[in-house]
Structure 1
Amino acid sequence: MCISGPKIEAPKPPPIQAAPQEQDAIVTNSREEELRRRRAAAGRKSTILTGSQGTTGAASTTGKSLLGQ
């Protein structure tokens, strides 16, 4: 069985304020610079570690060592 008591209403929330539309020039420039830097880092050249001739240095031909010694 359900016993119903007095109906209590919840208080109304305050009105929602609109977000500010004006942005500081420094913030905008910083964001654009960060996006440019990320795009450059994600490009093809950031993953190529050697040229078309490969590595030109001497090869490491030492045997395996114990625990990096």
Structure 2
Amino acid sequence: MLLFTLPGKAIFSPPKPKASPAPAPAPPPAADDPAIEEARRKERMAAAKRKGRAATILTSGLGDTTGDTSAQTTKLGGGA
């Protein structure tokens, strides 16, 4: 049996699959859903923690660049 083929095509090609319709997207959850409220609360807490940590760092990555203050002398005790 001799099978005749054309360049890039066969005489008997497999059937093409039928396109199935895409499933409908799930409806979005309600705004007052407890799971959404919990996620929002967790996100606010995480943002507050990040902000609190950043507020304690008072210098840049270069460190304190104001200069050496240890050479200044002060008088201990009273008097003007």
Give me the TM-score of the superposition, normalised by structure 1.
0.49
The structure with the larger Rg is 2
